Amino acid sequence: MGKCMDTLVDKLMATGNLETEELKELLKFRNAETTEYLNQKACMVRQSTKGNKVQIWGRIPISSYCKYDCKMCGIRRDNQFAKRFRMDAELILECCNDFAKKGVRNFLLESGDDVYYTEKRIEELLLMIQKAMGDCNVILSLGEKSQAAYMSWYNSGARSYLLRHGSANEQHFRKVYPSNMSLLLRKQNLWQLQKIGYRTGTGFLIGIPYQTLDNVVEDIQFIKSFEASVIDMGAFIPVPRTPFERERSGNGEMTLYIMAILRLMLPGASVLANPSLDCVLRDGRIKAFSGGADVLVADLEEDTIMSSYNVYERKNGRLFLPLDQVGNMKAQIEGMGLRVL
C-alpha cells in the first residue's frame, strides 16, 4: 500500500491534482510512510515557491459578537454564556504595537460576523493602523460583508481576506450551519473578494459532525478549483454549550495531512498553521511546518483578551494551551531551518 500511495503523491506533485477516486484513496488509506513522503514533498514545494521564508501573522480578535448561529461555534449568536467584547480602536492599535515589539508586522483582524463593523468603521481603522504602524500588512477576517465594503477596504490597504467556506456540500452545509446562512452566498462572497484582487483564503474543519469522506474530497476540490491564495484549515473542536458539545474532536494528524495535500495542489498559496491545531495535537502548529505550512498564526500573551474570545476553549478535554510565546515559537520554527520574516 505504501508504494501505491507514494505514486499518488508523486502524481499530485507533478500535476497539482488527482482524480476523485485517487484523492479518496489517499485520504482513506493514510499511513505513516505516506505521511512522511507527502510531508517531504510538501516541504520541497514550499521551498521552491517560498524559499525557506515563513511569516507570523498576529491574530487580533477584535470582536466576539456574531449575527450567525453556527452549531459548532463558541461565539454563536445564541450562546448566552459567551463573553462578548468589542475592542475599541485604541486597544486594537495597542495589540498591533505589542505584536510589532515582537517583530510581527502582519496583523490578522478577526471577528465574528459583527454588524457593528460597517464599511466606514473598518475603513477608518485600516487607515489608522497604517498611519500609526507604517509598513505593515493587514489581513481581514470579518465575515460576509457587502461588495462595496470589500472594495473600500481593499482601497484602504487590506490585501488579504479570510472566509472559510465551511462545507462545499449543500446537504452537509445545511446540517451544520444555520438556516439563514447560504453556501451560495458564501461562495459569491469568495468570488467577489477574489475578483477585487484580495489574496482570498478559505477552508473547512476536519471532523465536523456529519462530515463524510466524500464531503472532505468535495471540500478539497472546491479549494483547488477556487484557487485559494490562503488555506485556512482547522480541526473540529467540541465547544461547551454548543449543540455539538458532546461530539468528538477532529483528527489533528488528518488535518495536517490535508494541509500538506493542499500545499501540493496550490503550491503558491499561504498555508496557515493556526492556533486551533494546538487544541487537537501537541505542538500542532509547529508540526504543520513539517508538512509545508508557511504562516504561523499567533495570539497575544495577554490573557484578558484571549480568555474572552472563546471560538474554541483554550482548555479542553485533551490539552491545555499556554498563551502564545511568540519568541519561543519563532525559535522553534527557525530550528527547522526556516527563516521567519
The binding site for ligand SF4 (CB under 6 A) comprises 66, 68, 70, 73, 75-76, 112-113, 143
**Four-point Cα dihedral 23, 26, 27, 33, nearest 10:** -160
- Which of residues 24 and 86 has its CB atom nearest to ligand SF4 in the complex? 86
Least separation, in Å, of the C-beta of 177 and ligand SF4?
7
Least distance in Å: CB of 219 to ligand SF4? 16
Q: Tell me how far, at minimum, the Cβ of 224 lies from ligand SF4, in Å.
A: 23
Burial class (CB in 10 A: 0-12, 13-18, 19+), 55: middle
Closer residue to ligand SF4 in complex, CB, 157/178: 178
Closer of 250 and 292 to ligand SF4 (Cβ): 250
CB of residue 50 to ligand SF4, shortest distance in Å: 29
The answer to whether 57 and 298 have CB atoms below 8 angstroms apart is: yes
Q: How far apart, in whole angstroms, are the C-alpha atoms of residue 80 and residue 154?
A: 34
Residue 75 or 329: which CB sits closer to ligand SF4? 75
H helix intervals, 179-244: 183-196, 213-226
Nearer to ligand SF4, 42 or 73 (CB): 73
d(CA 276, CA 238): 11
CA distance 140 to 158: 7
Nearer to ligand SF4, 18 or 75 (CB): 75
What is the maximum span of the chain, computed from C-alpha positions, in angstroms?
57
What is the smallest separation between the CB atom of 111 and ligand SF4, expressed in angstroms?
A: 8
- Gap between the Cα atoms of 204 and 184, Å rounded: 15
The CB-of-72 to ligand SF4 minimum distance in angstroms stands at 7
